[in-house]
Amino acid sequence: MKNNQTPQKTINYEVFLEGVGVHSGERSAITLRPAQENSGITLLNKKFPNDLLQIGTVVPEQAMHATVLKAKTWAVSTVEHLMAAIHGLEIDNLLVEIEGFELPILDGSALPFVQAIQATGLKIQIEPKQFVTPKQTLRFEEQKKYIEIQPANKDNTLYFDYSVNFEHPLVRDSRMSGSLSPTYFTREIAPARTFGFLEQLPLLRKHGLAKGTTLGNTVVVGQEIVLNSQRFEDEFIRHKLLDLIGDLTLLGKPLAGTIIAHKTGHSFTRKIIEHSIQHPDQWEAFTSK
Ligand SMILES: [Zn+2]
């Protein structure tokens, strides 16, 4: 490996986590296992062990409230918080063994995944880490929402500038910008929990969603008050950023470059993943800039 390259990483030992799915309300569990160089992130459903799902080869389904991935014979929902932890801690190779059809929501943030991974520690591998970036600026816009990715030109870092306005009196306009690193992710983004608006809960439940929602895994915003205590004053935008980072993990390799986004959610990130799979010639994979 050359001086300006970074080695790939996996975890030292296997890790087991279990809980309930926030939408299904059903028990689920995952076992994270170390994986060899250049194998990437692979999902395995224990009931369908021959139908592996390789991250970077699948476009997520069109789902509003969670990121859903489909293999040939099975599907899994709400993968974004685990994916964000993988991305944030810079893990390249990992096997995720799943029991159930939705990942456990745990406390609604990425922190339990981060802590479990940190407890095993990361194993440095021999092959150089690969990054991905679009060859030209990519932009998706719809009404007043947009996401833009500018190519990396001088380093492997992911820079971001994300802003939101929720049009709710308790959730003010906010904006976060900076660059992603394991320290920044662990401290500023990973602890931010899933949130929801109390008035939307009946509709979600009517559609069979949010069956596992509790105050233990979701920050609930009422008309006049937030029902639980918050971990950050601007926990909402931090969680939106967490979801964005998680969804970008589905590119299969860590994104380098600059993201500028306003009010975007899963449907916009989905377009980026779809673009990278449909137009691989317009993307570049590299080991260092
Ligand atoms: Zn989320």
Q: Report how far ligand 1's centroid is from the alpha carbon of 92 (Å).
A: 21
Q: What is the pLDDT of residue 170?
A: 78
pLDDT at residue 58 in the model: 97
Local structure of residue 185 (DSSP, 8 states): I
> Rounded to an integer, what distance in angstroms lies between the CA atom of residue 43 and that of residue 32?
9
Six token digits for residue 280: 């691989």
Model confidence at 169: pLDDT above 80: no
* Distance (Å) from CA 256 to ligand 1 centroid: 22
| pLDDT tens-digit readout, 205-241 | 888 888 888 888 999 888 888 888 899 999 999 999 9
Terminal alpha carbon distance of the chain: 14
- Mean pLDDT taken over the chain: 94
Question: For position 223, what pLDDT does the model report?
Answer: 83
> How many whole angstroms from 25 Cα to the centroid of ligand 1?
16
Structure token pair of residue 44: 């395995």
Neighbours of ion ligand 1 (CB under 5 A): 194, 243
What digits encode the pLDDT tens for the residues 89-147? 999 999 999 999 999 999 999 999 999 999 999 999 999 999 999 999 999 999 999 99
Distance CA(249)–CA(268), nearest Å, equals 14
- Which sequence positions are flagged as catalytic? 266
What pLDDT does residue 4 have? 83
The alpha carbon of 269 and the centre of ligand 1 are apart by a number of angstroms equal to 13
Q: What burial class does residue 225 get, using C-beta atoms within 10 Å of its C-beta: 0-12 exposed, 13-18 middle, 19+ buried?
A: exposed
Give percent of the chain with pLDDT exceeding 90.
Answer: 78
Rounded (10°) CA dihedral 190, 264, 77, 157: -50
Helix (H) or strand (E) holding 246: helix 235-248
The whole-angstrom separation of Cα 32 and Cα 82 is 10
Under DSSP, the state recorded for 208 is: T
Each residue's pLDDT tens digit, 40-61 = 999 999 999 999 999 999 999 9
What separation in Å is there between the alpha carbon of 126 and the centre of ligand 1? 33
State the sign of the Cα–Cα–Cα–Cα dihedral 183, 270, 67, 147: positive
pLDDT the model gives residue 224: 83
105, 133, 149: which is closest to 242 by C-alpha?
105
pLDDT of residue 85: 98
